[in-house]
Amino acid sequence: MSRPNWPRRLLCSAAALTLLCAASFGWLMVFVAHMEDTTPSPPVEAVAGTGVWKGYMGFQYDCIIILGAQVKPNGSPSEALLRRMELALEYYNARPCVIIATGGRGEDEPMAEGDFMYRWLRKAGAPDDALAVDNMSRNTRENIANAKALMAERGLERALVVTSDYHLPRALAVCRGAGVDAIGAGSESAPEMWWKNHLRESLSWIKYKLGF
């Protein structure tokens, strides 16, 4: 009577589980990309009142929230942060309002992202009284929570959230969960970063759904 081949069965089970996890994660990446494609940004022309966009529907936001991204160790903005700031400035110039710059300081950053954005925006021509800063937040949930508190202090009610395109759907989901009335605008990401960005964002969606 032959003995059960337990090592082989365990190996097959592990292989099947690995394939299942890989397939599930692959589906999640497709879902993230689909969410990005179906979350359009309002054209700057529509915001300025010189164009029409069916998704805009007259949403009169009274502030712009910029979500932070890395400040390089040499004190320059990462490509993602620069693109977010430039896009936010376009919307501000189209319809001036309060800009809320959010983002704390990471271990490898010379200063808080919110403070960096404040300085950059001031140099770009935004007046001091149009800027508010959160320099303590460590993730998207804290970005939005701290921005919401700053909105309340200034009597602001509706926001245009500016972040990277792949990150925009989750940012708006966090807004809904936090009770922030918002639409979003996504800055275009570098094509060569597609896999890295969507892999990271897929993991972030898992954390978000788990409540972290």
Is 13 contained in some domain? no
Is 61 contained in some domain? yes
Is 11 contained in some domain? no
Among 9-23, 59-73, 97-111, whose mean pLDDT is lowest? 9-23
Amino acid at 73: P
Q: What's the pLDDT at 201? A: 81
Distance (Å, whole) CA 177 – CA 174 = 5
Is 15 contained in some domain? no
Is 182 contained in some domain? yes
Looking at residues 26-42, what average pLDDT do you find? 66
Strands 98-102 and 181-187: unpaired
Is 128 contained in some domain? yes
Q: pLDDT digits over 138-178, tens only?
A: 999 999 999 999 999 999 999 999 999 989 999 999 999 99
Q: pLDDT digits over 199-210, tens only?
A: 788 777 777 777
CATH code of 141's domain: 3.40.50.620
Given a cut of 80, whether residue 100 has pLDDT beyond it is yes
- pLDDT > 90 fraction of the chain, expressed in percent and rounded: 56
pTM score above 0.95: no
Is 127 contained in some domain? yes
Given a cut of 80, whether residue 195 has pLDDT beyond it is no
Is 14 contained in some domain? no
Domain containing residue 84: 34-209
Tally of structural domains, the chain: 1
Q: Can you give the three-state secondary structure of the chain, one letter per residue?
A: CCCCCHHHHHHHHHHHHHHHHHHHHHHHHHHHHHHHHCCCCCCHHHHHCCCCCCCCCCCCCCEEEEECCCECCCCCECHHHHHHHHHHHHHHHHCCCEEEEECCCCCCCCCCHHHHHHHHHHHCCCCHHHEEEECCCCCHHHHHHHHHHHHHHHCCCEEEEEEEHHHHHHHHHHHHHHCCEEEEEEECCCHHHHHHHHHHHHHHHHHHHCCC
